[in-house]
Amino acid sequence: MTTLKISGMSCQNCVGSVKKAIEAIEDTGEVTVNLETGTAAWTGSADTETVTKAVTAIGFGVE
């Protein structure tokens, strides 16, 4: 499982937006986004650069 720290999430709508953006990428497998820890994780083989671009494109930061 690959995990990224996501900044800027403040509500469940944010979580849904981040999850949807990551799930739209090929080969992400199972995606989980956690508001409490500010993280997003996926089980597939998608690379972190691609996921980072998708998350930042919708207005969130990646640390």
pLDDT per position as a tens digit, 5-15: 999 999 999 99
Question: Which residue segment(s) compose the domain that 11 sits in?
Answer: 2-62
Q: Which residue has the tokens 């979580």?
A: 15
Give the pLDDT band of residue 56 (cuts 50, 70, 90).
very high
**Which distant-in-sequence residues (6+ apart) come within 8 Å of 29 by Cβ?**
42, 43, 44, 45, 46
Cα separation values, 59 from 10, 27, 32, Å: 12, 22, 18
Query: How many domains does the chain divide into?
Result: 1
Enclosing H/E stretch for 51: helix 48-57
pTM of the predicted model as reported, rounded to 2 decimal places: 0.94
pLDDT in tens, 34-50: 999 999 999 999 999 99
Domain holding 40: CATH number? 3.30.70.100
What was the pLDDT predicted at 49? Answer: 97
